Every structure is written in structure tokens, then in C-alpha cells.
A and B are shown apart, each in its own frame.
Chain A
Amino acid sequence: MSNKRWALLFALVILLCAAVTLLLPSGGSTVGIWQRGELLCTIDLAAVTEPYTLRIPYEGGESIVCVEPGSICIQSADCKSQTCVRHGRLRPGGTPIVCLPERIVIRYLRTEGGVDAVTG
């Protein structure tokens, strides 16, 4: 295949991926916090009026999640990599906050009956 054809093929794959990303149902302002695949809690960020923090313990250490009106982030974590802290605020349409050492995932929920109904 020529360079042009390869470029065209990859451009198509990019378009396809973009379409899939955009077409996946996005579910408003509710985020979920998982640890080891278990849903710990869900928070409707639009309903938060006062900022508060959550503590998520894990094997002697803990992560502190900062919940503010309309945003959520991991404020501190007892691990060396600090990847989740540097991730900053969770953005709609962006990647989820993932903390591998403490097995935590924070991401937006999708709409009811959508993918979350399947994956739990």
C-alpha cells in the first residue's frame, strides 16, 4: 500500500474512534468512585454546594478526594507516582482519574440504560 493509502486508512480509524467517543452516551454531571471494581459512591457534582473532602483508605494509606461544586479531583494520595493527583480535575469527555496503586477509578457515569447498566 502506498503512503497515501495508509494515511487515509489511519485517518478513517481516527474518525471512527472520534465518532465512537462522541456517540457514547454521556450522562450529565454524576460521577462515580470505584475501588477494586466496586462502586463506592456516586456524586452529582451539579448538586454540590459546599466543597468537601472524602477519604478513601487503602492498605494503610489513603487518598483524599476533593469534591467541589461542578468538579472533583484527588487532592492527595499515599503513593509515590502521584499520577492521579497530577491528573487534576475530572473533565467531561476526558480520561478518568485512575490511581493504579490504590485501585481507584473516578469517572462520569453514563446515562441510565446505557453502558453502565451492562458493566455495573
Chain B
Amino acid sequence: MKLKKITAAALLTATALIMFLIEAQIPALTPVPGIKPGLSNIVTLFALWTLGGWWALAVLLCRVVLGCLLTGQVSAILYSLSGGLPALGLSWLLKGFFPSDRLWVLSVFSAMAHNLGQILCAVAVTQTPSLFFYLPLLLISGIISGAFTGMAAQNICRRL
């Protein structure tokens, strides 16, 4: 059983990594930078739902570290994790409260946690608290993309 989970987690990490790399090549969808579809969140959610929290954490950490190494942006690890960890943490916490057909709702909450975490990190690193005024703008994109990635994850989970 454990071997099966390790294999599944490794496959999911590879999938997330590919999504992460492809997404990095897509030019910005909107004139407002900082807004991304967050496709690898589909994998994180799927891992959380099917394998459990610790496995999802492992997949997330491997994806972020390997993704940042592969794209040559080692300094982006901190920034990626400042979004990814709160996002996973919140969905892990709330997981028990949502049935499998409300996975997209969970995803929206985790996207919002992602926005908040990254803005907190940017504020801390640049020591510029006024960056908080961009939170509403980021939340709009977070809610929309969170709903879409959540629906994608929900559909995959349903077909298991």
C-alpha cells in the first residue's frame, strides 16, 4: 500500500512539475501581472484528496523545489512556498467540512490563502505595507482561477 502511495505521489509530482513548467512559458493572460491560472494546484488538491495531507505536502515541496531549480529561479522558492503552504494548510484544515462535490469551494478558499500568503511575503521582504492594497485585485483572480482548478480536480476525483 505504501509503495503504491509513493508511486502515485511521484507520478503526481512529475505531473505538477510539467504543469508548473508549461504555465511558466505561457505569456501573461491579462495586462495585470501576478495573475496566473495556478494549474499545479489541481495536482496538490488531487493529492490531498486521494493520498492525504502529508503526501500532498511532499508533492508540493518537491514540485516547488524542483520547479524553481529547473527554471533557474532559486530565489523564487520562498515566494512559491509563501503561497503554496498556506493554500495547502487551509484546504487540509477544511477538508473534513466539504463533500467531494464541493472540492471547488475548498479550492477557492485555498486560492485566497495563496494570495494572502504571497502578499504577506512580498510585504515582509520589501517592507512596503502598502502592497496590501493589491490584495483585492489578486483575490478576484484567485477566486476565479481557484474555482476553475478546483472544478478540474473535482472532476478528476469523481472519475476515480
Q: Is the interface of A mostly helix, strand, loop or mixed?
A: mixed
Q: Is the CB of A96 within 8 A of B131?
A: yes
1/0 per residue, CB under 8 A from A, across B111-154: the answer is 00000000000100111111101101111100110010000000
Known contacts A17-B136, A94-B31, A94-B32; A101 and B75 CB within 8 A of each other: yes
**B10 close to A (CB within 8 Å):** no
**B12 close to A (CB within 8 Å):** no
Return B142 CB to nearest CB of chain A, in Å: 9
A83 proximity list for chain B (CB < 8 A)? 76
Known contacts A87-B33, A100-B79, A100-B122; A18 and B131 CB within 8 A of each other: no
A105 proximity list for chain B (CB < 8 A)? 126, 128, 131
**B72 close to A (CB within 8 Å):** yes
**B105 close to A (CB within 8 Å):** yes
**A98 close to B (CB within 8 Å):** yes
Q: Is the CB of A104 within 8 A of B130?
A: no
**A53 close to B (CB within 8 Å):** no
A86 proximity list for chain B (CB < 8 A)? 33
Q: Is the interface of B mostly helix, strand, loop or mixed?
A: helix
Known contacts A79-B75, A81-B76; A37 and B127 CB within 8 A of each other: yes
B74 proximity list for chain A (CB < 8 A)? 80
**Contact-residue bracket for chain B:** 20 to 34
Q: Is the CB of B134 within 8 A of A103?
A: no
Q: Is the CB of A115 within 8 A of B102?
A: no
Q: Is the CB of B73 within 8 A of A36?
A: no
- Interchain Cβ contacts under 8 Å between A and B, 15 examples: A6-B108, A13-B139, A13-B143, A17-B136, A21-B136, A37-B126, A87-B33, A95-B33, A96-B131, A96-B134, A98-B122, A98-B126, A100-B126, A103-B126, A115-B130
Known contacts A17-B139, A21-B137, A100-B122; A36 and B127 CB within 8 A of each other: yes
Cα separation A37 to B130 with both chains bound (whole Å): 9
**B96 close to A (CB within 8 Å):** no
